[in-house]
Amino acid sequence: MKDQTYLDRESNLTPGISKISAKNVNVYYDDVQALKDVSVEIEKNAVTSFIGPSGCGKSTFLRCLNRMNDTIDICKVTGQILLEGEDIYDPKIDPVQLRAKVGMVFQKPNPFPKSVYDNIAYGPKIHGLANTKSDLDEIVEKSLRRAAIWDEVKDRLSSPATGLSGGQQQRICIARAIATSPDILLMDEPCSALDPIATAQVEELIDELRENFCVVIVTHSMQQAARVSKKTAFFHLGSLVEFGDTEKIFTNPNDPRTESYITGRIG
C-alpha cells in the first residue's frame, strides 16, 4: 500500500532499480533548516547529479547519504533514507560500516600525507580486504588503473601523494574511494578545483565507473551534469524543485525555477 502511493507520486521510477530512496528528509543546523522535505530515488548503475545554486542544500543532502553529517555536532537529520531497503539512520546501523559501502570524494583533493601506495591501501587495510601483500598490491593497482592514473604514478608509488598535481591528487582520492569497493560513490563537486583537462579525465572516469557503481555527483557546472548524468535533481533554497531524466530537465523542465536556473536567469 505504501509502495503504491509512492509509485503514484514518482511514476517514472520503479522500486526495483532504485538503490537509495530518501523520503521527507529534513536537515537542521541548530535552528536553521538546510533541507526541506526532500524525497529522491537514486538508481543503480547510473549517474545521478545534483545541481543548484550555492547554499541550496545539495552538498548537505549528499553528506546525509553516508552520514558524514554525523561529524558535525549541530547537525540534525529527520526523515528516512533507505539503502537497499535498510534505514541508514536506524540506531542499529553503524555509520562506519555504512561509509565503507558508500564511498565519498570531496570537493578539494585531500590525499593523506602518506605515499601514493599507502593512500590507496588505507581503506583496504582498515577493512581487512587483503590478506597478503600481493593481494593488496593487486587492489592498489586495480584501483589506480580504474581511476586512470596508474600510468602516471606507477613509478612513484612510494613518493608522497601530496606532491602530485591537483588533478592527479583528485584521481588518487577517487582511486582511494573505489579501493574499498563501495556500492555507491558520492562525489561532492569533484572537479571544482581542477582545470578543464583534468576535469575531462575525471568525467571520463565517472562514465566508466557507472558500469560498476551507483554514482551521485554534486556539481556547479550544468554542462557537466548534462554530460555525465542520467538523472538530475535541481535543488533551490533547501527544497528539491525537480527530479527526473537529465535530458528532460535540460530541455523541457516542468518547473519555471528549473528553467530560470539552467538558462542562467537565477542562481
Partner 1 sequence: MALNGVFYSLMILAFLAFFVSRFLTLKTVKGDIRRLHSRPVYYGLNSLFLTVFPAVILLIVWSFAQSILIDEKVKQQIPENFITEDAPLNLIMSEVDRLSEGLKQLVDQGTLSATKVENEDSELFGIEDKLESAGVFLSSSISPEVLSASRSKFAMEAFGSSTRNWLAVLVSVLGFFWSLKNSTAEFRARNHVERITLFLLGTAATLAIFTSLGIVLSMIFEALRFFGMHPWTDFFFGSTWAPSFSAGSELSILPLLWGTLYISFVALLVSVPIGLYSAIYLSEYASKPIRAIAKPLLEILAGIPTIVYGLFALTTFGPLLRYFFGDGGFLGVEWMSDSRSVITAGVVMGMMLIPFVSSLSDDIINAVPQSLRDGSYGLGATQSETVRKVILPAALPGIIGAILLAASRAIGETMIVVLGAGAVAKFAGNPLEALTTITTRIVSQLTGDLEFDSPETLVAFALGLTLFTITLGLNVLALYIVRKYREQYE
Binding site for partner 1 (CB under 8 A): 66, 68, 71, 73, 96-101, 103-106, 108, 110-114, 122-123, 126-127, 162, 173, 176-177, 180
Minimum CB–partner distance for residue 180 and partner 1 (Å): 6
Q: Which of 24, 48, 57 is closest to 38 using CA atoms?
A: 24
> Is 18 within 8 Å of 60 (Cβ atoms)?
no
**Residue number, 97 or 223, with CB nearest to partner 1:** 97
Closest CB to partner 1 among residues 12, 97: 97
Contact 221, 193 (CB under 8 A): no
Q: How far is the CB of 242 from partner 1 (least distance, A)?
A: 28
We find the least distance from the C-beta atom of residue 26 to partner 1, in angstroms, to be 23
**Residue 18 or 180: which CB sits closer to partner 1?**
180
- Residue 206 has φ and ψ, to the nearest 5°, of -60, -40
Query: Shortest distance, CB of residue 132 to partner 1, whole angstroms?
Result: 20
C-alpha cell at 63: 553528506
- SS3 (DSSP) at 215: strand
CB 202 → partner 1: shortest distance, Å? Answer: 17
Rg from Cα positions in the chain: 19
CA angle 244/175/162 to nearest 5° reads: 120
> Closer to partner 1 at the Cβ: 48 or 66?
66
Phi and psi at residue 26, in whole multiples of 5°?
A: -120, 140
Instruction: Give the nearer residue to partner 1 in terms of CB position, either 42 or 172.
Output: 172
Q: How far is the CB of 149 from partner 1 (least distance, A)?
A: 17
Which of residues 56 and 177 has its CB atom nearest to partner 1 in the complex? 177
Copy the grid coordinates of residue 146: 580504474
Chain centre to alpha carbon of residue 141? 23
Q: Identify whether the C-beta of residue 184 lies closer than 8 Å to the C-beta of residue 213.
A: yes
Nearer to partner 1, 124 or 244 (CB): 124
- Measured CA to CA, the distance from residue 202 to residue 200 in angstroms comes to 5
> Cβ of residue 170: shortest distance to partner 1, in angstroms?
12
Give the span between the Cα atoms of 204 and 148, in whole angstroms.
Answer: 9
Q: Crossing angle for the helix pair 196-209 and 133-146, nearest 10 degrees?
A: 120
Which residues have C-beta within 8 Å of that of residue 135, sequence separation ≥ 6? 129
